[in-house]
C-alpha cells in the first residue's frame, strides 16, 4: 500500500522538476506523516467505539462495581496500544530510504508500548483492588499490599525490558548481570521487602484490619486504621491527624488492637476511688436501721444480720463488745450497695463480669474498684455511662458514713486552721 503511495507521490514531484532522490525523500516523509495521522485517527475511532459501547453497557449494568473500570480509564489505556503498534509495523515500509530514522522510531515505539502495557496492567490491578474493597472481606483480608507488590514487579520488568530494548540484549543476560548487584538491590528495596513480609504476617495472623482501633505508643498512634499498604499503615487519630506507621514496625513492636472489645458484648469500665481509712467502722444498730432504708441493700442487710447472728450464737460469741465475733462494716455494706446498683443499671452488660472489689491499701486509703462492662461501646456513650456511675458513687458515699480521700487543697487547709482558732 505504502509502496504505491510513495511511487505516486514521487511521480508527481518529478513532474514539477524535482530530482528523483529529492522526490523519493519528500514522498517518504509525507508517507510517514500520513501514517502518523492514520494511526491517530484509527486510535480515536477505536477509542470512541470501544468506550461508547462498553461504557453504555457498564452504565446499564445493575452492579456498580464495573463502574470502577470507567473510573480508572482501563479501556482508554488499552486503546493507546493501537497507534504505537501501527506505527511500529508500518514505519519501515513508509520510510525505506531512512533506515536510521526508521530504526529510531521503531525503538521509541517499542519503549512506548512497554510503558503503555505497564500502565494498562497497573490500571487493571488498581481496578481489581477497588472492586475487592467493595466486599466485606476486604476489611479483614486487605490485598492492597499484594497489589502494590505486583505493581512493583510489573514496573521492574518494564524497566528491564526498556534496558533490553535500548541495549539490544536478551533480557536473560540483563538478569544475569543484575545478579551481581543483588546486595545493592536488597539495600534499595529493603523497605518494600520488609513491608511485604510484614503485610503477609499481619494478614495471615489477622492482626490488623481496616477500621480497627489501634494504639501504638512508639508511633503516637491512637485511632482507626484507614489503609494497609505495602510499606506503611495509615492511622487516623481521634484528633483527625494522620499517623503513618511502617508495616514491619507492627510486627517488630507492640501495639494494642481494640477489635476484641468492639466484637465483644461490652466495653470495660475499670476505675477506682480511695476511701479514707479513718471513716471505716463497725455498724451500730442505729446505723443498720438507717441503712435498711436504702432499698438496694435492705434485704442484703437483713440476710447478713441473720447469718452473723446464727454464727455468733453457734460460737458462743459475747456480742457486748463490737470487737468480738462477726460484724457488718459500713464499707462492706457500701460495696454490697454498689454491686446491687450495677446489677440494676440498664447500661451494664449483665452477661459479662461485673463486681466491686477492694484493692490493696495504700498510704492514701483503701481503693475500691468498679469493674464492669458497658453494653454501649460507642466512645461518647461509654464515657457518659461511666461518668453517671461515678457521679452517683461520689454523691452516695457519705450516706454510709464514709469519705473519699483527696489531697488537702488550700481552701480546706484554711478552713481547718480557722476551726482550730
- DSSP assignment string, 58-119: HHHSS-STTHHHHHTTHHHHHHTHHHHHHHHHHHHHH-TT-HHHHHHHHHHHHHHHHHHHHH
Angle at 126 between CA 121 and CA 128, to 5 degrees: 95
Which residue has better confidence, 144 or 414?
144
Within 8 A by CB and 6+ apart from 300, the residues are: 333, 336, 340
pLDDT at 418 over 70: no
Which residue has better confidence, 159 or 194?
159
What's the mean per-residue pLDDT of the chain?
A: 82
pLDDT at 138 over 90: no
Q: Percent of the chain beyond pLDDT 70?
A: 86
Task: Please give the grid coordinates belonging to residue 316.
Answer: 458462743
Report the first-to-last Cα separation within the chain, whole angstroms.
Answer: 120
The pLDDT of residue 367 is 94
Q: Flag the least confident range among 22-31, 76-85, 206-215.
A: 22-31
Strands 256-257 and 242-246: unpaired
Q: Which residues pair with 259 in a beta bridge?
A: none
pLDDT at 249 over 90: no
The pLDDT of residue 332 is 94
Q: Flag the least confident range among 212-216, 258-262, 268-272, 302-306.
A: 258-262
Work out the average pLDDT over 305-313: 89
CATH topology for 204-263? SH3 type barrels. (2.30.30)
Q: Flag the least confident range among 106-110, 158-162, 177-181, 263-267.
A: 177-181
Which residue has better confidence, 142 or 396?
396
At 419, is the pLDDT very low, low, confident or very high (cuts 50, 70, 90)? Answer: low
pLDDT at 11 over 70: no
Work out the average pLDDT over 44-52: 82
The pLDDT of residue 9 is 61
pLDDT at 63 over 80: no
The pLDDT of residue 369 is 95
The pLDDT of residue 13 is 57
The pLDDT of residue 7 is 63
The pLDDT of residue 290 is 94
Work out the average pLDDT over 147-165: 84
- Dihedrals φ, ψ of 31, to 5°? -60, -40
The pLDDT of residue 182 is 65
Q: What residues does each domain of the chain span? A: 2-134, 204-263, 267-420
The pLDDT of residue 330 is 94
The pLDDT of residue 185 is 65
CB count within 10 Å of CB 420 equals 6
pLDDT at 3 over 70: no
Give dist(CA 202, CA 215) in Å, integer: 16
At 274, is the pLDDT very low, low, confident or very high (cuts 50, 70, 90)? Answer: very high
pLDDT at 196 over 80: no
The pLDDT of residue 171 is 72
The pLDDT of residue 206 is 74
pLDDT at 398 over 70: yes
pLDDT at 421 over 60: no
At 90, is the pLDDT very low, low, confident or very high (cuts 50, 70, 90)? Answer: confident
The pLDDT of residue 142 is 76
**Length reported for the chain:** 421
pLDDT at 87 over 80: yes
pLDDT at 79 over 90: no
Residue 19, SS3? coil
Crossing angle of the two packed helices 81-94 and 99-133, in degrees rounded to 10: 170
At 331, is the pLDDT very low, low, confident or very high (cuts 50, 70, 90)? Answer: very high
User: How buried is residue 195: exposed, middle or buried, by Cβ count under 10 Å (0-12/13-18/19+)?
Assistant: buried
Amino acid at each position: 500500500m505504502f509502496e504505491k503511495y510513495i511511487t505516486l507521490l514521487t511521480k508527481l514531484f518529478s513532474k514539477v522538476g524535482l530530482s528523483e532522490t529529492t522526490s523519493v525523500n519528500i514522498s517518504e516523509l509525507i508517507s510517514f506523516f500520513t501514517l502518523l495521522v492514520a494511526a491517530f485517527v484509527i486510535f480515536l475511532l477505536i477509542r470512541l467505539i470501544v468506550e461508547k459501547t462498553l461504557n453504555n453497557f457498564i452504565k446499564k449494568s445493575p452492579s456498580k462495581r464495573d463502574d470502577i473500570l470507567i473510573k480508572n480509564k482501563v479501556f482508554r489505556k488499552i486503546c493507546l496500544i493501537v497507534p504505537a503498534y501501527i506505527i511500529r509495523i508500518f514505519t519501515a515500509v513508509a520510510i525505506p530510504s531512512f533506515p536510521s530514522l526508521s530504526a529510531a522510531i521503531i525503538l521509541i515505539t517499542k519503549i512506548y508500548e512497554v510503558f503503555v502495557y505497564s500502565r494498562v496492567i497497573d490500571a487493571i490491578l488498581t481496578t481489581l483492588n477497588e472492586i475487592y474493597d467493595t466486599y466485606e472481606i476486604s476489611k479483614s483480608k486487605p490485598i492492597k499490599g499484594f497489589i502494590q507488590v505486583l505493581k512493583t514487579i510489573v514496573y521492574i520488568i518494564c524497566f528491564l525490558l526498556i534496558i533490553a530494548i535500548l541495549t539490544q540484549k536478551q533480557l536473560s543476560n540483563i538478569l544475569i548481570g543484575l545478579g551481581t548487584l543483588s546486595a545493592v538491590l536488597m539495600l534499595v528495596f529493603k523497605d518494600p521487602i520488609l513491608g511485604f513480609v510484614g503485610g503477609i504476617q499481619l494478614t495471615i495472623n489477622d492482626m490488623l484490619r481496616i477500621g480497627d482501633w489501634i494504639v501504638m505508643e512508639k508511633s503516637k498512634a491512637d485511632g482507626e486504621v484507614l489503609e494497609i499498604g505495602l510499606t506503611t499503615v495509615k492511622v487516623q487519630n481521634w484528633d483527625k491527624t494522620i499517623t503513618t506507621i511502617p508495616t514491619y514496625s507492627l510486627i517488630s513492636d507492640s501495639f494494642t488492637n481494640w477489635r476484641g472489645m468492639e466484637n465483644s458484648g461490652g466495653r470495660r469500665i475499670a476505675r477506682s476511688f480511695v476511701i479514707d481509712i479513718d471513716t471505716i467502722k463497725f455498724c451500730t444498730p442505729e446505723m443498720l436501721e438507717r441503712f435498711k432504708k436504702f432499698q438496694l441493700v435492705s434485704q442484703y442487710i437483713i440476710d447478713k444480720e441473720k447469718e452473723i447472728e446464727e454464727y455468733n450464737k453457734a460460737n458462743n460469741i459475747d456480742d457486748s463488745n463490737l470487737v468480738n465475733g462477726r460484724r457488718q462494716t459500713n464499707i462492706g455494706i457500701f460495696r454490697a450497695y454498689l454491686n446491687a446498683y450495677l446489677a440494676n443499671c440498664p447500661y451494664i452488660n449483665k452477661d459479662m463480669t461485673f463486681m466491686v472489689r477492694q484493692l490493696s491499701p495504700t498510704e492514701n486509703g483503701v481503693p475500691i474498684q468498679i469493674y464492669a462492662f458497658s453494653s454501649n461501646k460507642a466512645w461518647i456513650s461509654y464515657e457518659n455511662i461511666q461518668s453517671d456511675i461515678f457521679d452517683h458513687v461520689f454523691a452516695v458515699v457519705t450516706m454510709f458514713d464514709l469519705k473519699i480521700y483527696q489531697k488537702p487543697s488550700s481552701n480546706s487547709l484554711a478552713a481547718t486552721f480557722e476551726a482550730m482558732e
